[in-house]
């Protein structure tokens, strides 16, 4: 039995069942149990002949035979139908979406994260497209156990948890994980598979637009993996937020696939991130795995006892400056690739040419540091193509080529902005948020592109010699030796991951060869 629920009634039901608690400010605090992040090894994609050659199969997109997948879906749907479940309907971009879950607070999460109205240009394209399905359906059993479904023939290693995506029927089955991010990321993955076939570029990115009187301001797009500042930097009081995680670039401009934000909350301070702080501390917001005192009802955003990956979801309207969701913003004036370099090898900021843009987009570099992932005790280079490999199921070259074509058509500038550590993580001095914000502001205004530049000796991109309002110490070039060590990791990753890519991308866009 499915019970249609609003966000408020879902929160009330969550409290009634003792599955969460309200803070002093009215936000809902919940715990996600064993999984406080995505279940990477338990994610599978249904192997269908219609799309088999269009998916980048591997550790990210593991195949599951159609016959087995059908049994999984049948089992989950049957359980949801025979139990008291909760239901949400809305939109992902232009796709209708339906979420059915055994957990009421996950329905409140879906209500926060998805759109109340479709993106008109995408909906129009979908209507005329010859697709087997145009509606995304998510079947959610967060506290169940895969073993209880007794399905024969499952891939070795699967025991209690499974995330299963079908790119043809556009269905998702989630079993055995309460981490809410699986819901939104699965929906976006399916969208990101379909959209390129409609000539629309999906981007794992945030976007905002400048305020402008009587006219639409200039827009920009910020790409970046977790921990690079994508959400933080996109929420700016002098710009209107289009979206903080999933953006689409259509023939006419930029839109947000989602209707909310899913912000990382660790070390959240009102002074540093006032918009996110206020949005997270209000009724309707859902806080996952944060420190919480049940007696005082106070939240401790610095508490890492459950996870480094504490999260908060809230609707876009909780933020002060939001771009109208029934409109499309102009194509971006600037695209910014955010990276948190922990080796002290990259400069604070650099401008990329067309080939470098494709190379760094396909590489999707940042660094993992101690505390951000189990087992990481020292800085480690991390590459995730398109700055979001798990959510971009087609080969990276597909998205990179679309990006290059749109950049060429619009004349957008592409920049690399380093939010990592000056001199390296071991020194502990990270670029201050104020410095990153100022550099970003100068990029968005077009001023930084007019500054004198120097050619980087290893990576070949243009590095500004000065920036108004930024001390010269933040703009100094790191040592060539450190840059060469990082460049070797870039080359190794590109050769391993993109052997079939256009060789000119590595030749003209990658680090300068030292041989």
Higher confidence at residue 454 or residue 370? Answer: 454
204 among known catalytic residues: yes
From the list 10, 85, 219, 226, the catalytic residue is 226
311 among known catalytic residues: yes
From the list 245, 264, 333, 368, the catalytic residue is 245
Q: Are strands 95-101 and 136-141 parallel, antiparallel or unpaired?
A: parallel
226 among known catalytic residues: yes
From the list 231, 240, 313, 366, the catalytic residue is 231
From the list 311, 360, 394, 456, the catalytic residue is 311
Is a pLDDT exceeding 70 seen at residue 313? yes
Other C-beta atoms lying within 10 Å of the C-beta of residue 255: 28
**Beta partners for residue 473, in sequence order:** none
Q: Please give the angle made by the CA atoms of 410, 412 and 415, to the nearest 5 degrees.
A: 165
Residue 253 pLDDT level (bands cut at 50, 70, 90): very high
**Beta partners for residue 95, in sequence order:** 92
pLDDT of residue 370: 53
From the list 204, 239, 333, 360, the catalytic residue is 204
231 among known catalytic residues: yes
HEC sequence for 353-394:
CHHHHHHHHHHCEEEECCCCCCCCCCCEEEECHHHCHHHCCC
**Structural domains present in the chain:** 2-200+250-318 (3.40.449.10), 332-509 (3.90.228.20)
Give φ, ψ of 475 to 5 degrees.
-100, 0
Q: How far is CA 186 from CA 136, 244, 385, in A?
A: 10, 17, 17
Tell me the pTM: 0.91
Centroid of chain to Cα 358: 19
Tell me how far apart the alpha carbons of residues 332 and 403 are, in angstroms, rounded to a whole number: 12
pLDDT of residue 291: 97
Q: What is the mean pLDDT of residues 348-356?
A: 97
From the list 23, 27, 38, 419, the catalytic residue is 38
Which tens digit of pLDDT belongs to each residue from 365-408?
Answer: 999 875 444 454 567 899 999 999 999 999 999 999 999 999 99
- Would you list the DSSP string of 411-425? T-EEEEEE-SBTT-G
Lowest-confidence segment of 37-51, 141-155, 274-288, 422-436 by average pLDDT:
422-436
Residue 3 pLDDT level (bands cut at 50, 70, 90): low
Which tens digit of pLDDT belongs to each residue from 93-149?
Answer: 999 999 999 999 999 999 999 999 999 999 999 999 989 899 999 999 999 999 999
- With 0-12 / 13-18 / 19 or more C-beta atoms within 10 angstroms meaning exposed / middle / buried, residue 17 is exposed
Q: Which two tokens stand for residue 3?
A: 């019970």
Which tens digit of pLDDT belongs to each residue from 50-62?
Answer: 999 999 999 999 9
């Amino acid at each position: 039995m499915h019970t249609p629920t609003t966000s408020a009634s879902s929160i009330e039901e969550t409290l009634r069942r003792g599955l969460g608690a309200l803070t002093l400010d009215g936000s809902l605090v919940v715990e996600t149990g064993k999984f406080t992040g995505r279940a990477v090894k338990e994610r599978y994609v249904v192997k269908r002949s219609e799309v088999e050659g269009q998916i980048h199969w591997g550790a990210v997109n593991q195949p599951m035979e159609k016959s087995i997948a059908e049994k999984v879906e049948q089992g989950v749907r049957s359980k949801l139908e025979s139990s008291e479940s909760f239901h949400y309907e809305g939109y992902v971009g232009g796709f209708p979406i339906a979420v059915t879950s055994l957990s009421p607070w996950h329905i409140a999460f879906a209500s926060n994260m998805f759109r109340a109205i479709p993106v008109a240009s995408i909906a129009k394209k979908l209507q005329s497209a010859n697709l087997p399905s145009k509606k995304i359906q998510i079947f959610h059993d967060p506290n169940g156990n895969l073993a209880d479904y007794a399905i024969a023939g499952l891939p070795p290693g699967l025991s209690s948890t499974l995330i299963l995506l079908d790119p043809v029927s556009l269905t998702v089955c989630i079993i055995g994980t309460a981490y809410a991010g699986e819901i939104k990321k699965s929906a976006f993955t399916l969208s990101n598979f379909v959209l390129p076939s409609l000539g629309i570029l999906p981007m794992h990115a945030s976007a905002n637009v400048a305020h402008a009187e009587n006219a639409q301001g200039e827009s920009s797009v910020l790409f970046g993996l977790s921990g690079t500042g994508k959400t933080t930097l996109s929420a700016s009081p002098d710009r209107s937020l289009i979206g903080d995680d999933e953006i689409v670039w259509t023939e006419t401009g930029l839109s947000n696939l989602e209707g909310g934000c899913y912000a990382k909350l660790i070390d959240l301070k009102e002074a540093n991130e006032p918009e996110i702080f206020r949005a997270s501390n209000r009724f309707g917001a859902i806080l996952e795995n944060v420190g919480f005192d049940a007696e005082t009802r106070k939240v401790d955003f610095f508490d890492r006892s459950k996870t480094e990956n504490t999260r908060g979801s809230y609707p876009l309207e909780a933020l002060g400056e939001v771009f109208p969701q029934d409109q499309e913003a102009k194509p971006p004036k600037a695209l910014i690739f955010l990276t948190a370099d922990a080796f002290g090898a990259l400069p604070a900021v650099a401008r990329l040419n067309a080939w470098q843009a494709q190379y760094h987009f396909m590489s999707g570099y940042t660094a993992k540091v101690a505390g951000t992932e189990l087992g990481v005790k020292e800085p480690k280079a991390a590459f995730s193509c398109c700055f979001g490999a798990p959510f971009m199921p087609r080969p990276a070259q597909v998205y990179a080529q679309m990006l290059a074509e749109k950049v060429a058509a619009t004349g957008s500038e592409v920049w690399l902005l380093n939010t990592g550590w000056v001199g390296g993580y071991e020194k502990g001095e990270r670029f201050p948020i104020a410095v990153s914000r100022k550099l970003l502001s100068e990029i968005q205004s077009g001023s930084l592109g007019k500054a004198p530049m120097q050619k980087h000796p290893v990576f070949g991109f243009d590095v500004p010699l000065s920036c108004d309002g930024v001390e010269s110490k933040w703009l100094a070039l790191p040592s060539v030796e450190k840059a060469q060590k990082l460049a070797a990791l870039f080359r190794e990753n590109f050769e391993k991951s993109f052997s079939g890519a256009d060789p000119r991308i590595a030749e003209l866009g990658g680090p300068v060869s030292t041989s």
